[in-house]
Structure 1
């Protein structure tokens, strides 16, 4: 049974460069470090982003990160070296956009500027 998200694994060529970028651009802080990986703290959860260079771990990553304002986040991150794949667009709860970091990782951004999921969309029993 799934209990929670433990971590998001992101394969990069240069762990030190990725750690620096994720710290400076996304505001993440390192929790732990090994020879080929570093665990980065997410502010409002105990889940981690793990940057690594282990070719045996698959590199397909698609995670939606909650931000306060997608439009502002896209502007900020584009100005700091990210490529915009999909400009902000409306979704039921707010806006979404897709960017790519300099290491080739696709990053989906989501905000709740329209509010949380409406109550009429029921929980799955």
Structure 2
């Protein structure tokens, strides 16, 4: 039986610097670790990012909900991220696309305009 799990695989060249970066910049916490991967927990959710060194195809990006995209872009830039797409407006707020120091795309979104009406 298949069950829904909120997990994204992110390839990195080395686990130790990637764990430090994702903990410091994005507030993730290590949940488990083996020789080739580390499960990182996201705050206030059971979603998991798996940092790994395996040669696997994977999702090209991770998406984070933030309080303020402009502030998050500034923090990420100062931490070594490249801004691939500067903040832009969407129906519910603002978005931006970053690239982490390991070459992975990171999408950020705020809901400064509120959720879509039902």
Q: What range describes the TM-score normalised by the shorter chain of this pair?
A: over 0.9
CA distance in 2, matches of 1:48, 1:20: 16
TM-score normalised by L of structure 1:
0.88
How much has 1:61 moved relative to structure 2?
1.9
CA distance in 1, matches of 2:67, 2:87: 13
5 Å-filtered alignment, 1:97-112, equals 97-112=96-111
5 Å-filtered alignment, 1:70-109, equals 70-109=69-108
Where does structure 2 lack aligned partners over 5 or more consecutive residues? none
5 Å-filtered alignment, 1:1-16, equals 3-16=3-16
How much has 1:118 moved relative to structure 2?
2.1
| 2:53 is equivalent to residue 50 of structure 1 | no
Deviates more, 1:33-42 or 1:60-69: 60-69
Where does structure 1 lack aligned partners over 5 or more consecutive residues? 120-125
TM-score normalised by L of structure 2:
0.93
List structure 1 segments (4+ residues) > 4 angstroms apart after TM superposition.
none
Task: Decide which structure has the larger Cα Rg and report it.
Answer: 1
- Contact 2:12/2:52, CA 8 A, preserved across alignment: yes
How much has 1:16 moved relative to structure 2?
1.1
- Contact 2:8/2:59, CA 8 A, preserved across alignment: no
Secondary structure at the residue paired with 1:63?
A: strand
Measured against aligned partners, the alpha-carbon deviations of 1:90-125 in whole angstroms (never above 9, x if no partner) come to 000000000010000000000100000122xxxxxx
